[in-house]
């Protein structure tokens, strides 16, 4: 029986289509309806020496390399639903194929907000978010996503279903395997269930916007806001656009209404002291401004390349210094979150292969920590879109080969061949 | 141990870096779980990562098991060299290497005592947030190994959220320098999966930690209750109302009495059945707004007295009582069995009551003091180790409590670790496949399993994992599988 027929036997004909993605053209994509079917698909791969690309909705397809070899795509898109939401405990358990938007809606009913607060939450699954270690727009407030994963259930390459952690906000029983899986881009396991810690939904939102003459001035303004110890969710600096020559500073606040009222007044008087013209929004307007900025972070217009740079905040000045050199000659837009020292770079025009390679080489030489998120195909198939190899690569390889000795999860998609 | 190996180790560490025999080995026989003891063959005291790495290479060549040790305040037998071999103590690695106020981080040797780190950060308006009650003695290396918590971890998170970098000496002596702080790990999260591994993956010699800004305002409230139910329900209500205090700690009557009779006397009313300590941090306004909501809940749940600490001195006193509680209990019983279960915060009242019942049924005295905000229970059972029947009843009660917590959706340990003590319980919570997967991770770090053998994972022989799942757990998992 050919692979197509075997996969159809497991999931039924409706759940198999063709995926015109990587690794030399079309691949069958199978979307099991439950964990048992996913186990069967993996066992099939395991016993036939096949290589599998795990996927959610495929929204981050360009965030990894093209694999060395792949035989089929295993999508969690049909494994969706909330398994339990405990408003009284502030925890959530969901199948990995559930979209972040569905989860946001679910937990809003109990007065919570979902972390990670990701761009285009309807386009990605929670499993994909965790597998790519994608922290959200609320990172300044709550820290990275990996801190809020309470536990997972995952399928290993041989179809073994293994749990790690639980659904408790505090728990040190056993190794935190979920920390290893978070950000492993499907190179170790297929995540099938995710348990998360939730945060209170704020009573009120505020958005503050003003302009600065230079990047340095904008960065200083952000630091000044931090010094004021405001209830900040995010502070963003945007590079000048076609219509403006100035840098834009955006600060998003949220919290108890009485607190936001007073804090907005404080921001207002502090900035008007320094003669800065300020726009301030509250409530739903502030929220939609925030969502707009959040979604910009991951605007996948065709042909646009997009990359993320990150350093520990101590390295921010050096990072800002290096931007001009690294991106000289390309039309790049920068969204900088200075308080978490993260820079999103979007190219306003498609990069030619030569331009992409030139930027890539300069980034490598600069020693910056970077990840191409919508990488040109030339880089995805040759370079290392995850930047320089980190310390501990030999250990990472051992971890991969002990957890997936038969290379069921397609190799070469993650950094340095993992 | 082989004379040539001893000589080689002496060469690396000097005479003062070796404890080889006699009564000087006794303190290394156990940690705070003194009922389980084993004498190590030798204790090594390196001063630097290089010395530790060199020693580890020699031990690897000789195939000797290695147990890392901080201050030995662990409560699960983690630092007990149950399979013999060598203990490597970090007692001579106590330097704060760097405090970087601008980067809000510090780099320390792993033997630095938790409280000393906060002391070093204080002049910069910063502190190290994880604050185990043992913070005056326990080390940052031990905290990393256990992923330790503490009262203020309710708001700030356990140790893992504060670790930016590690230097690890691996089982074969290789030094893995992961000390450069990165916002996101590049590659697999080695640091995140190492924290909480209880010394079974490698020896930590240096730690880079995140420092937190001292909040502008801190308010400490003491609420006195006529029973534990009201205190527990107050906490569940606060969580359900999504309030965000920084600490929520409960002490019961017996604990209060022990504290008040000790040097840690905090002024808790001696006749109270329970007290709840609530701490709030933030801007003056944030604290004020939350405080009003908290007070309303406390009143509604029947608090008979509410007291706000008037000044930092009173605040410190209230906390000294809480943090000294374990020490104070030495007055009420010769021995104490400290359990460390964790349950969903919606189940606090039921589980606390059930814990008391289990002890009552076995004629055991129970003192309870716990991190209520995190659902992390610490039923402390008083006993006398010379009374063998009592010891039997204590162990039985401990097992029952854990079983009931697991059945209520809880877990074996919230912060003290599995160690030796809860090894048997692992198969109540995990299936064979779960444990075998953890073994695979361990094998990637330490294929010979020489690092702290006999801890955390119930592994007897090479690949044999003992499992005997509770019928309830099996049934629940089957149901979950069917649902999905
Ligand atoms: C009175 C009292 C109160 C306590 N309160 C709390 C509390 O509030 N919260 C809490 O979480 N815990 C608490 N504990 C438990 C204990 O203090 C913590 O687990 C602490 O982190 C242990 O640190 P230590 O330096 O004493 O480590 P040790 O007891 O020496 O070792 C603990 C474990 O870590 C390993 N280890 C130690 N150092 C290293 C290293 N450098 N590299 C690798 N492995 C290492 C050991 O092998 C062992 O498995 C309390 C204990 C006592 C006695």
- Which pLDDT tens digit goes with each residue over B307-360? 999 999 999 999 999 999 988 988 888 888 989 999 999 999 999 999 999 999
Three-state SS string across chain B, please? CCHHHHHHHHHHHCHHHEECCHHHHHHHCCCCCCCCCCCCCEEECCCCHHHHHHHHHHHHHHCCCEEEECCCCCCCCCCCCCCCCEEEECCCCCCEEEEECCCCEEEEECCCEHHHHHHHHHHHCEECCCCCCCCCCCEHHHHHHHCCCCCCHHHHCCHHHHEEEEEEEECCCCEEEECCCCCCCCCCCHHHHHCCCCCCCEEEEEEEEECEECCCEEEEEEEEECCHHHHHHHHHHHHHCCCCCCEEEEEEHHHHHHHHCCCCCCCCCCCCCEEEEEEEEECHHHHHHHHHHHHHHHHHCCCCEEEECCCHHHHHHHHHHHHCHHHHHHHCCCEEEECCEECCHHHHHHHHHHHHHHHHHCCCEEEEEEEHHHCEECEEEEECCCCHHHHHHHHHHHHHHHHHHHHCCCECCCCCCCCCCCHHHHHHHCCHHHHHHHHHHHHHHCCCCCECCCCCCCECCCCCECCCCCHHHHHHHHHHHHHC
Backbone φ, ψ for residue B459 (5° rounding): -110, 120
> Whose C-alpha lies nearest to ligand 1, atom 46?
B79
Cα separations in angstroms, B231 against A51, B237, B289, B451: 55, 10, 21, 42
Report the run of H or E that residue A221 belongs to, with start and end: helix A215-227
pLDDT for B283 beyond 70: yes
Residue contact B285–A144, C-beta within 8 A: no
**pLDDT tens, N- to C-terminus, chain A (418 residues):** 798 899 999 998 878 888 876 655 688 999 999 999 999 999 999 999 999 999 999 888 888 998 889 999 999 999 999 999 999 999 999 999 999 999 999 999 999 999 999 999 999 999 999 999 999 999 999 999 999 999 999 999 999 999 999 999 999 999 999 999 999 999 999 999 999 999 999 999 999 999 998 888 999 999 999 999 999 999 999 988 777 778 999 999 999 999 999 999 999 988 877 777 899 999 999 999 999 999 887 766 545 678 888 888 888 888 888 888 888 877 788 899 999 988 988 887 778 888 888 888 898 888 888 998 887 778 888 778 998 889 999 999 999 999 999 999 999 999 988 9
Query: How far apart, in whole angstroms, are the C-alpha atoms of residue B484 and residue A163?
Result: 15
Which domains can be identified in chain A, with CATH numbers? 1-201+387-413 (3.30.465.10), 204-295 (3.30.70.2190), 304-382 (3.30.70.100)
Nearest residue (by CA) to ligand 1, atom 15, is B74
* CB spacing of A168 vs B103 below 8 angstroms: no
Is the pLDDT at B461 greater than 60, yes or no? no
| For residue B480, pLDDT beyond 50 | no
- Shortest CA gap B16–chain A (Å): 33
> Can you give the pTM of this predicted structure?
0.94
Residue B164: both structure tokens together: 């930016």
Contacts of B340 (CB under 8 A, 6+ apart): B75, B76, B376, B377, B378, B412, B413, B414, B415, B416
CB within 8 Å: A83 and B483:
yes
Residue A175 sits at the chain B interface (C-beta within 8 Å): yes
Rounded-to-integer distance, Cα A111 and Cα A113, Å: 7
3-state secondary structure of A19: strand
pLDDT of residue B47: 98
Upstream peptide bond of A116 is cis (omega within 30 degrees of 0): yes
Is A167 part of the contact surface with chain B (CB cutoff 8 Å)? yes
Ligand 1 site, CB within 6 A: B 31-32, 67-75, 78-79, 90, 110, 132-134, 138-139, 141-143, 145-146, 148-150, 198-199, 203-204, 326-327, 415-416, 452
Strands A27-30 and A72-75 come out as: parallel
CA distance A255 to B380: 38
How many Å from the N-terminal Cα to the C-terminal Cα in chain A?
31
DSSP state of A242: T
Determine the Cα–Cα distance for residues A201 and A254; give it in Å rounded to an integer.
9
Using DSSP bridges, classify how beta strands B335-338 and B379-383 pair: parallel, antiparallel or unpaired: antiparallel
Taking the C-alpha atoms of residue B128 and residue B131, their distance in angstroms, rounded to an integer, is: 8
Tokens describing residue A160? 């073994």
Confidence category of residue B75, pLDDT binned at 50, 70, 90: very high
Q: Tell whether A43 is within 8 A of chain B (Cβ).
A: no
Q: What angle do CA B102, B107, B110 make, to 5 degrees?
A: 155
Yes or no: say if B221 and B361 are a contact pair by the CB < 8 Å rule. Answer: no
Cβ-defined contact of A193 to B484 (cutoff 8 Å): yes
**Statement: residue B481 has pLDDT above 70:** no
Q: What is the largest CA-CA distance in chain A?
A: 76
Helix (H) or strand (E) holding A210: strand A204-212
A138 three-state secondary structure: coil
pLDDT of residue A19: 80
What is the model's pLDDT at position A327?
86
Residues 99 to 138 of A: which have CB under 8 A from any B CB? Answer: 111-112, 133, 135
Residue owning the nearest CA to atom 49 of ligand 1: B78
Distance between CA B236 and CA A266 in Å, rounded? 34
Pairwise CA distance, residues A66 & A21, whole Å: 9
Whether chain B has a CB inside 8 Å of the CB on A312: the answer is yes
B187·A414 Cβ contact <8 A: yes
- Of the candidates A129, A117, A93, A134, the residue with the CA atom closest to the CA atom of residue A202: A117
* Closest atom of ligand 1 to CA, residue B452: 47
Neighboring chain B residues of A387 at a CB cutoff of 8 Å: 186
Question: Which residue has the CA at smallest separation from atom 2 of ligand 1?
Answer: B134
d(CA B115, CA B111): 12
Percent of chain B with pLDDT over 90: 87
The answer on pLDDT for B471 being more than 50 is no
Contact call for B413 and A341, based on CB within 8 A: no
Other beta carbons within 10 angstroms of residue A74's beta carbon come to 23
Are B44 and B86 in contact by the 8 Å Cβ rule? The answer is yes
DSSP-based three-state secondary structure for A16: strand
Q: Determine whether B430 is exposed, middle or buried from the number of CB atoms within 10 Å of its CB (0-12, 13-18, 19+).
A: buried
Mutate to test the interface with A, among B437, B459, B474 (most CBs of A within 10 A): B437
**Does B473 score more than 60 pLDDT?**
no
- Give chain B positions within 8 Å (CB) of A318: none
Q: Residue B31: what are its φ and ψ, rounded to 5°?
A: -105, -145
pLDDT score, position B465: 41
Tally the residues of chain A: 418
Residue B479 has pLDDT above 50, yes or no: no
Pairwise CB contact (< 8 Å): B441 & A180:
yes
B44-69 confidence digits (pLDDT tens): 999 999 999 999 999 999 999 999 99
Q: Which of A111, A170, A312 sits opposite B375 (nearest CB)?
A: A170
What does the pLDDT look like over B434-455, one tens digit per residue? 999 999 999 999 999 999 999 9
Residue range B213-264, pLDDT digits in tens:
999 999 999 999 999 999 999 999 999 999 999 999 999 999 999 999 999 9
Residues of A whose CB is below 8 A from B422: 173
Cα of B281 vs centre of ligand 1, distance in Å, is 27
Rounded average pLDDT over B195-205:
98
What CA–CA distance (Å, rounded) separates A235 from A238? 10
Ligand 1 centre and the CA of B31: distance in Å? 9
Asked whether the predicted pLDDT for residue B464 surpasses 70, the reply is no
Better-scored residue on pLDDT, B303 or A416: B303
Sorted by sequence, the CB contacts under 8 Å of residue A241 that are 6+ apart come out as: A333
Nearest to A160 among B102, B103, B433 (CB): B433
Q: Do A170 and B417 touch (CB under 8 A)?
A: no
Q: What is the pLDDT of residues B141-159, one digit of tens each?
A: 999 999 999 999 999 999 9
What is this model's ipTM?
0.94
Nearest CA in chain B to A139: B183
CA separation for the pair A138, A108 (Å, rounded): 16
Contacts of B356 (CB under 8 A, 6+ apart): B228, B366, B368
The CA-CA-CA angle for residues B99, B117, A143, to 5°, reads: 75
The answer to whether B111 and B91 have CB atoms below 8 angstroms apart is yes
List the single residue in B146, B157, B192 with the smallest CB-CB distance to A172.
Answer: B146
Q: Best mutation site among B70, B86, B143 for ligand 1, i.e. most ligand atoms within 8 A of its Cβ?
A: B70
How many C-alpha atoms does B46 have within 13 Å on its Cβ side? 23
Q: Are B342 and A171 in contact (CB under 8 A)?
A: yes
Contact check, Cβ <8 Å, A171/B456 = no
Quick one: average pLDDT of B401-418?
95
Ligand 1 centroid, distance to B431 Cα (angstroms): 27
Average pLDDT over residues B381-402: 92
**In chain A, residues 250-279 whose CB comes closer than 8 Å to chain B:** 255-256, 258-259, 262-263
Pick B372 or B466 by higher pLDDT.
B372
> How far is the alpha carbon of A178 from chain B, nearest alpha carbon, in Å?
8
Backbone CA torsion sign across A324, A326, A332, A334: negative
**Contact, A162 vs B434, CB < 8 A?**
yes
Can you give the length of chain B in residues? Answer: 484
Chain A neighbors of B187, CB-CB under 8 A: 386, 389-390, 392-393, 396, 414-416, 418
Report for A295-299, B31-35, B405-409: range of highest mean pLDDT? B405-409
| Ligand 1: centre distance to CA A89 (Å) | 27
Judge whether A163 is closer than 8 Å to chain B, CB to CB: yes
CA of A95: which chain B residue's CA is closest? B484
Which residues of chain A from 313 to 372 reach within 8 Å of chain B, CB to CB? 313-314, 340-342, 369
Q: Which one of B101, B174, B187 would you mutate to disrupt binding with A, by most A Cβ within 10 Å of its Cβ?
A: B187
* Nearest residue (CA) to ligand 1, atom 16: B74
Determine which helix (DSSP H) or strand (DSSP E) holds A179, and give its type and residue range: helix A177-181
Domains of chain B: 3-89 (3.30.43.10), 96-213 (3.30.465.10), 217-407 (3.40.462.10), 432-483 (no CATH)
Q: Which of residues 201-230 of A touch B (CB under 8 A)?
A: 201, 229
């Amino acid at each position: 029986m050919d692979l197509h027929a075997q996969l159809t036997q497991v999931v039924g004909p409706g759940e198999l289509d063709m995926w015109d993605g990587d690794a030399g053209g079309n691949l069958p994509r199978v979307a099991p309806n439950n964990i048992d079917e996913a186990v069967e698909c993996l066992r099939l791969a395991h016993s036939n020496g096949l290589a599998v690309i795990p996927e959610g909705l495929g929204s981050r397809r360009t965030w990894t390399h093209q694999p060395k070899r792949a035989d089929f795509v295993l999508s969690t898109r049909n494994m969706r639903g909330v398994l339990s939401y405990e408003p009284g405990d502030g925890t959530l358990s969901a199948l990995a194929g559930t979209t972040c938007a569905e989860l946001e809606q679910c937990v809003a009913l109990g007065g919570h907000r979902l972390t990670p607060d990701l761009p285009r939450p309807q386009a990605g699954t929670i499993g994909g978010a965790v597998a790519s270690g994608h922290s959200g727009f609320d990172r300044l407030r709550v820290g990275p996503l990996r801190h809020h994963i309470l536990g997972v259930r995952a399928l290993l390459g041989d179809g073994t279903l293994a749990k790690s952690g639980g659904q408790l906000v505090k728990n040190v029983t056993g190794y935190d395997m979920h920390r290893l899986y978070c950000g492993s881009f499907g190179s170790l396991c297929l995540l099938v269930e995710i348990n998360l810690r939730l945060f209170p939904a704020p009573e009120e939102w505020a958005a503050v916007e003003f302009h600065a003459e230079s990047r340095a001035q904008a960065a200083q303004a952000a630091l000044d806001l931090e010094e004021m110890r405001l209830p900040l969710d995010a502070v963003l600096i945007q590079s000048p656009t076609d219509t403006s020559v100035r840098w834009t500073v955006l600060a998003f606040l949220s919290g108890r209404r009485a607190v936001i009222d007073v804090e907005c007044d404080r921001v207002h008087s502090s900035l008007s002291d320094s003669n800065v013209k300020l726009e301030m929004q509250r409530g739903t307007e502030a929220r939609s401004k925030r969502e707009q900025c959040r979604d910009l972070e991951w605007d996948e217009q065709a042909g646009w390349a997009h990359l993320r740079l990150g350093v520990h905040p101590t390295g921010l000045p050096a990072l800002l210094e290096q931007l001009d050199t690294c991106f000289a000659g390309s039309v790049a837009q920068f969204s900088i979150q200075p308080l978490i020292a993260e820079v999103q770079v979007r190219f306003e025009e498609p990069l030619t292969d030569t331009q992409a390679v030139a930027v890539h080489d300069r980034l490598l030489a600069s020693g910056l920590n970077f990840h191409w998120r919508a990488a040109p195909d030339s880089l995805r198939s040759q370079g290392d879109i995850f930047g320089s190899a980190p310390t501990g690569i030999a250990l990472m390889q051992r971890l991969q080969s002990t957890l997936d000795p038969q290379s069921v999860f397609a190799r070469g998609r993650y950094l340095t061949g993992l | 141990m082989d004379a040539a190996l001893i000589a080689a180790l002496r060469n690396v560490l000097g005479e003062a870096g070796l404890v080889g025999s006699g009564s000087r080995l006794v303190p290394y026989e156990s940690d705070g779980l003194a009922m389980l003891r084993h004498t190590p063959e030798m204790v090594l005291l390196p001063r630097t990562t290089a010395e530790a790495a060199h020693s580890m290479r020699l031990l690897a060549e000789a195939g000797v098991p290695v147990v890392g040790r901080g201050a030995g305040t662990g409560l699960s037998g983690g630092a007990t060299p149950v399979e013999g071999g060598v203990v490597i103590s970090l007692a001579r690695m106590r330097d704060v290497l760097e405090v970087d106020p601008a980067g809000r981080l510090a780099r320390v040797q792993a033997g630095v005592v938790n409280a000393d780190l906060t002391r070093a950060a204080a002049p910069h308006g910063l502190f190290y947030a994880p604050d185990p009650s043992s913070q005056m003695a326990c080390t940052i290396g031990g905290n990393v190994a256990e992923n330790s918590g503490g009262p203020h971890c309710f708001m700030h998170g356990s140790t893992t959220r504060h670790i930016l970098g590690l230097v690890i000496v691996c089982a074969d002596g290789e030094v893995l320098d992961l000390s450069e702080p990165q916002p996101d790990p590049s590659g697999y999260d080695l640091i995140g999966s190492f924290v909480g591994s209880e010394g079974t993956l490698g020896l930590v010699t240096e730690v880079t930690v995140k420092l937190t800004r001292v909040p502008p305002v801190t308010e400490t409230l003491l609420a006195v209750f006529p029973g534990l139910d009201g205190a527990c329900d107050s906490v569940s209500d606060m969580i359900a109302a999504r309030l965000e205090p920084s600490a929520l700690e409960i002490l019961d009557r017996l604990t209060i009495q022990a504290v008040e009779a000790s040097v840690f006397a905090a002024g808790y009313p001696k006749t109270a059945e329970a007290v709840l300590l609530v701490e709030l941090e933030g801007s003056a306004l944030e604290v004020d707004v939350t405080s009003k909501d908290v007070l309303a809940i406390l009143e509604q749940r029947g608090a008979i007295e509410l007291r706000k600490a008037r000044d930092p001195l009173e605040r410190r006193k209230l906390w000294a009582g809480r943090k000294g509680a374990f020490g104070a209990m030495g007055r009420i019983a010769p021995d104490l069995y400290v359990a460390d279960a964790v349950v969903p915060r919606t189940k606090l009242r039921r589980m606390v009551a059930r814990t008391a019942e289990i002890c009552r049924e076995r004629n055991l005295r129970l003192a309870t003091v716990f991190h209520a905000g995190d659902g992390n229970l610490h039923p402390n059972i008083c006993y006398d180790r010379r009374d063998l029947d009592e010891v039997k009843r204590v162990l039985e009660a401990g097992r029952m409590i854990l079983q009931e917590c697991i059945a209520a959706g809880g877990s074996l340990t919230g912060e003290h670790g599995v160690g030796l003590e809860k090894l048997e319980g692992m198969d109540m919570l995990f299936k064979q496949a779960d444990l075998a997967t953890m073994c695979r991770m361990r094998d990637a770090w330490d294929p010979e399993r020489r690092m702290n053998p006999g801890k955390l994972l119930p592994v007897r022989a090479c690949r044999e994992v003992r499992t005997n799942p509770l019928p309830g757990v099996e049934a629940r998992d089957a149901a979950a599988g069917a649902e999905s």
